[in-house]
Amino acid sequence: MHDRLNQEIDRLSATADALFDAIAQASREGAGISRPAYCAEETAAGELIRQFAQAEGLACGMDGGGNFQYDLEGQDTRTMTVMASHLDSVPVGGNYDGLAGVVAGTLVQAACKRAGIVPPRRLRTLGFRGEESPWFGTAYLGSKLALGKLTDKELNELTHLRTKQSLASHLRALGVQADEAAIRDKRLRHEAIHAYLELHIEQGPVLEDMGIPIGLATAIRGNIRHPFAQCLGVYGHSSTSPRHLRCDAVIATAQLVCAADRLWKEVLDEGGNDDLIINFGIFSTNPAQHAMTKVPGEVKFSFNIAGTNNDVAQKLYGRILAEAERIQEAFRVRFDFGSKVGTAAIHLDQGLIGVAENAAAGLGMKSLRMPTVGHDAAMFAQLGVPTGMILVRNQHGSHNVDEAMRIEDFINATKVLAHCALN
């Protein structure tokens, strides 16, 4: 059975490559790719996959949260194996982040149809919307909606970065009933999910550097995030403001960044927490007011801690907040960290890791057990659904215009995904 399935997946290689290219052309922005959540480019990606899926005989539709859904019936219609990832991208990012997993799921389904294989249970591929946090300031919106986890307050108050419209407004534009009760009523019942599987590019350089084509995620890093933080000082003339009377927002925020980096290094030097990261991804003064001869009175920034040990991340977070209080007093400014979002770290299913490891070995491929960053998979693992992730090596990192993925690596990883889905 697996030989037939692998052969059909190989035959779909050129089709997959063409599908990636067509979706890239539909979502090009300058040198990169932009598929804003709940916007036309994201929808176009799901529609192009739907055209392929329907041509292969799959049942296609939309779930109760506006996500794309592609189904292949199995022997047991009461339970399902879900293969999923997201369709949106970060602004001016790459083509494969998220998208690869949705295409891979439909390839597994199409290969089963072509090989005449009826899976042991229904195979469902989901193309989630809105996984990336920049669009609404928080992540995993599509998978949260699929599982009925968003409130009316969130639906109406979360606002899109570009359109300035609420999430509820975007859902209604898709024909989705955008209220908490309706979405919960139409949710995907996690009790009916036998396993959740997500194929994704690695997003970092580790696999490429080691010459290993496939990674097997052991855990999804949790995160503590402040997407809309700011430091508020007082604007002043730079030449008439002595240091001891300044309220300089840039220097104060720079002090916080340096302090956070020092504390981070101290934790790393203690050993055992190599997967811990901090990041200040946004750092800007107000272009309407800043000038070379002005003391800056405001800085907007983002702040993120991530790791697989929740206790360690929380301890580092507390120490950084304490530093912020000290810097406020010393530099006569005020830090406003704004809303706090994030998820706890999740450890993935050991059994699925073993199945994937054996499948890769059977195909003559090396694999590496490694932690990964936040993905929709976390939402399912939190509910106790057996969850596994297969990572494809990436030559130029992720969230950038040079993001890459060799089609042969993708096809081999899709074979591993198929083996997991059918076992």
pTM here?
0.85
Q: Please tell me the distance from the alpha carbon of residue 263 to that of residue 384, in angstroms, as a whole number.
A: 34
124: Cβ–Cβ under 8 A, 6 or more apart, which residues? 69, 70, 71, 72, 80, 81, 82, 83, 84
Q: Kindly indicate whether the domain formed by 2-221+345-422 is annotated with CATH number 2.40.480.10.
A: no
CATH no., domain 223-343? 3.30.70.360
Give the pLDDT score at 367. 98
62 pLDDT more than 90: yes
1 pLDDT more than 80: no
* Domain boundaries along the sequence of the chain: 2-221+345-422, 223-343
Q: pLDDT of 179-225, one tens digit each? A: 999 999 999 999 999 999 999 999 989 999 999 999 999 999 888 99
Other CB atoms within 10 A of residue 351 CB: 11
Whether 2-221+345-422 shares its CATH topology with 223-343 is answered no
Q: pLDDT of 71-94, one tens digit each? A: 999 999 899 999 999 999 999 999
Q: pLDDT of 368-388, one tens digit each? A: 999 998 899 999 999 999 999
Adjacent-strand bridge partners of 343: 223
98: Cβ–Cβ under 8 A, 6 or more apart, which residues? 85, 86, 87, 88, 89, 128, 131, 132, 200
Q: Please tell me the distance from the alpha carbon of residue 77 to that of residue 155, in angstroms, as a whole number.
A: 32
